[in-house]
Structure 1
Amino acid sequence: MIVHFDLDAFYASVAQRDDPSLRGIPLAISGRSRRAVVLTASYEARPFGVRSAMPLYRALELCPELTVVPPDFTRYRESSQRVFAIFVDGARAVEGLSLDEAFVDVPDETLDGAIAFAQRVRARIRDEVGLTASAGVARTKMVAKIASDMNKPDGLTVVPPGTEADFLAPLPVGRLWGIGPKTQPRLESAGISTIGDVAALDDARMYALFGRGGTFYRDLARGIDERDVDGSRERKSISTEETFEYDVRDEARILDLLRLQADELARDMQAKHLRGATVGIKIKRADFTITGKQTTLAVPTDDAGAILAASLWCWHRSGLAGVPIRLLGTRIASLTEEPQRELRLF
């Protein structure tokens, strides 16, 4: 049995936990620049139509009384670490998807055992961390993840073995893994509006709609998913980026930001005992076109100076000096926990 846990409105809930004056009011976590977007909206803000990834100006139009609080990633990481320590306690494997959600492989393979585990973990998160988590209990990963979203916030949804197809059948086809916003309208125009419609496809129509990957989607729609919880899953990269309030072409300001981003990434990796061998930058121009450049170090590093040197090399290779840009980011990948001798070569 698998349990998918998802912390409710994570960033907003952390803010409300730490500041009682924010409880019970419409709240958004966001920057305050002209181009800021909502990172998380509290459940009090959602009836107004405020949602994650919405431009902040639009959220304020929908909810003029919205309280806006800047993000505090140090607190989010600390809370996430405490929650994941609870996940690990008594689990066979934990596969983290982000700071606020994970799959957990439950040692007790009975349905009652999995339910008891989910209830125990949710109670500990509430009592020890001061947050709430919704959970889905099922035999497969996809069904457990969909189930955890059915009764938010602070809900528990159980899908007994053998009922997966019936549980999935009436849900919109967009809830099926791999069906994105571009594919969903195409399927709906072909008369496929629910997951049950996908499950009922014959081979010929399945191939016409999905190509060679059709069997995979049809199996998922029928509740068939043999993927295990992968407790060895490693974080592939760490990144940071900033959207400028106004387009920037001043190279001195750009280089200062690259320095700050290198320092931030180095602190993050040192705290996690990680080193990275690939450094890249992401540049979004005023016309929204995106340019990326990356380079590989001779030896993995967690040193801010080495990261900065590599990101500066990438910046000069981009050829965008003097071009107005709206976003700049730095990323380090090819992460390893193994200690290595430091060399500043790339």
Structure 2
Amino acid sequence: MERIILHVDMDAFFASVEQLDNRNLRGKPVIVGGTSSRGVVATCSYEARKYGVHSAMPMFMAQKLCPHGIYVPARFSRYREISNKVFDILRDVTNIIEPVSIDEAYLDITNSRFNNGLVAAKHIKSRVLKEIGLTISVGISYNKFLAKLASDWNKPNGIMVIDKEMIPDILLPLKISKIHGIGKKSVERLNNIGIFYVKDLYEMPIDLYTEYFGKYGVEIYDRIRGIDSREVKENRDRKSYGKERTLSSDTQSKEELLQYIDNFSKEISENLKRKNIKGRTITLKYKTYNFINHTRSRTLTYYTNSYKDIYNTCKEILEEENINVGIRLIGVTISSFKEDKIEQLSLF
């Protein structure tokens, strides 16, 4: 049986939540992120994108492009709350869900109560709009690559089906940067030899794929021919949890850095406890004023999700560091996980 895969993507999610909560922001260029001059854009509304603003852009650049934009700080707890409501709707459609991020997921509805991808997509879109007040875009196809491509086709509030009869014709006019797995450097290298579109790439012999893309070459060769065997995985294990912050001004104060570490440790601990997992490798990261990254890790002899363990370990690491230049970014990460299971002991 041919699989039915949906890719669900919430439209300009953080900005849309801000517009949902504040009617005065609707229809206006809203930019969410660090509000200091050294912050970055987390998400922006489609009204702001018309001016060239996009996620991960430095905030000072966004302010130049869109000086009349409305700049608001991120409220991650609120975004998580709304995200959970959306995912509850998705789970009512199928249990086979692979979250990609807080605002994006793959669904396999092949054996669900819906035997038609378009019907399922319209059902999801209708419920999210009616019950939450947000729009989402949904792509439907027989594999993950094409479903993801389809969800981006008619954004925002879009819906798109890509079936086998449309392959490869629908892919050939696309720029090669649209193909998952082709990074920025590979795009530049291919552009240098006159390959700009999928139709150009399609003509290349398979040996050149491995030459340009290494071990992923065969996958890319298959993808532009509509082949992708990846399954939707219900539990996508994360290798680490972390928090970091670009500071509003450089600092050499360990006391100030410890305040950030304290907040990060609490948030990471709460996150781990919610998911019933523990880690034992704790990493402190900081970036100096001249953009040089420093990471210091310590692996404990036991697994933990305790705020005190995370904080105290980072504090010990920081105390050993010679901070003699300005620090512009501080971060904390925990990794090397195991699931925190409660075992029932045998009476015998």
Report the Cα distance in structure 1 between the residues aligned to 2:336 and 2:82, rounded to whole angstroms: 26
Report the Cα distance in structure 2 between the residues aligned to 1:124 and 1:60, rounded to whole angstroms: 36
Query: Are 2:291 and 1:288 equivalent residues in the alignment?
Result: yes
Name whichever of 291-300 and 4-13 sits farther off. 291-300
* Counterpart AA for 1:178: G
Partner of 1:160: 163
* Counterpart AA for 1:200: E
Question: Contact 2:33–2:43 at 8 Å: present in 1 too?
Answer: yes
% identical equivalent positions: 36
Partner of 1:107: 110
Partner of 1:173: 176
Partner of 1:258: 261
- List gaps (5 residues or longer) in structure 2: 344-348
Question: Contact 1:8–1:153 at 8 Å: present in 2 too?
Answer: yes
Query: Are 2:301 and 1:298 equivalent residues in the alignment?
Result: yes
3-state SS of 2:35 partner: coil
3-state SS of 1:45 partner: helix
* Counterpart AA for 1:27: V
Query: Are 2:295 and 1:321 equivalent residues in the alignment?
Result: no
Normalising by structure 2, what TM-score?
0.91
Moved over 4 A (4+): 108-112
**How does 1:118-157 map onto structure 2 within 5 Å?**
118-157=121-160
Report the Cα distance in structure 2 between the residues aligned to 1:337 and 1:22, rounded to whole angstroms: 42
Report the Cα distance in structure 2 between the residues aligned to 1:167 and 1:86, rounded to whole angstroms: 31
**1:271 positional shift:** 3.5
What does the per-residue CA deviation read over 1:16-58, in whole Å, with 9 as the maximum and x for residues that have no partner? Answer: 1111111111111122212011111101111111111112222
3-state SS of 1:168 partner: coil
- List gaps (5 residues or longer) in structure 1: 342-346
Distance 1:113 1:100, change over 3 A: same
Query: Are 2:71 and 1:68 equivalent residues in the alignment?
Result: yes
Normalising by structure 1, what TM-score?
0.92
The size of the alignment, in residue pairs, is: 340
3-state SS of 1:292 partner: strand
Report the Cα distance in structure 1 between the residues aligned to 2:208 and 2:283, rounded to whole angstroms: 43
Please point out which of 85, 88, 91 is paired with 1:85: 88
Partner of 2:40: 37
Report the Cα distance in structure 1 between the residues aligned to 2:306 and 2:116, rounded to whole angstroms: 46
3-state SS of 2:233 partner: coil
Question: Contact 1:258–1:330 at 8 Å: present in 2 too?
Answer: yes
**1:277 positional shift:** 2.3
Partner of 1:344: none
Please point out which of 204, 214, 219 is paired with 2:217: 214
3-state SS of 1:246 partner: strand
3-state SS of 1:74 partner: helix
* Counterpart AA for 1:83: V
**1:181 positional shift:** 1.3
Distance 1:256 1:206, change over 3 A: closer
What does the per-residue CA deviation read over 1:117-157, in whole Å, with 9 as the maximum and x for residues that have no partner? Answer: 11111111111122111011011111111110110000001
Please point out which of 7, 13, 16 is paired with 1:10: 13
3-state SS of 2:241 partner: strand
Name whichever of 296-305 and 267-276 sits farther off. 267-276
**1:284 positional shift:** 0.8
